[in-house]
Amino acid sequence: MMVVVLLFVIPAQPTDIVRSPGLVSWRLVQAKLPWSVILLVGSGFALAESTRVSGLSQKIGHFLGGLGHLPPGVLMIVLAIICSVMSEVICNAGLVTILLPIFATLAEDLNINPLLLMIPATITSNFCFMLPVGTPANTIAYEHARLKISDMVPAVERHTARWKWICFGRVHSCM
């Protein structure tokens, strides 16, 4: 993004710095820049920051303390499934930024290692390939290849589920 700003400032003709337009015009940037990706990532981080600043993350974490009767392994599976499903409809970077403080508060309330909840959530949220909104890379591929959602879902559904559970098993065996 900073490079694009510099291209506006650097004159196209260095001999006439005052009157020379920039190397790129707004019309070109508006046409070529993937605005949907920028808005997707930016909105995810804005939502995450608002939940942190407002204290909503901590309140949700304390509310989830009712799950304390579950064994840590089962709790880890439940939270990983929740994170996995949510990451298909929310940008994964924003989702993890929202959920990790919630899971840290929950782990603190339950007196368990926060990494037990946070690592599986982070890993499972990175396997969101079914919908364009899951990752910026999905959004770029969806836009430029002019795919339909019906093209994306069947292609990765089985493989994504398989890898999520393989990674979950590895994390659980290491904890």
What phi and psi, each to the nearest 5 degrees, are found at residue 166? -65, -45
SS3 state of residue 22: strand
Burial tier of 9 (Cβ tally within 10 Å: 0-12, 13-18, 19+): exposed
**In-domain check, residue 6:** no
**In-domain check, residue 20:** no
Number of domains in the chain: 1
**In-domain check, residue 19:** no
**In-domain check, residue 15:** no
Strand-pairing partners, residue 11, are 22
Residue 93's domain spans which residues?
35-174
- Please state the length of the chain: 175
**Nearest CA among 35, 7, 40 for reference residue 21:** 7
Percent of the chain with pLDDT over 70: 86
Average pLDDT, the chain: 80
Residue 81 has pLDDT above 80, yes or no: yes
**In-domain check, residue 125:** yes
Kindly report the CA angle at 173 between 168 and 175, in degrees rounded to 5? 95
**In-domain check, residue 113:** yes
**In-domain check, residue 78:** yes
**In-domain check, residue 8:** no
The string of pLDDT tens digits covering residues 101-135 is 999 999 998 899 898 889 888 888 887 777 777 77
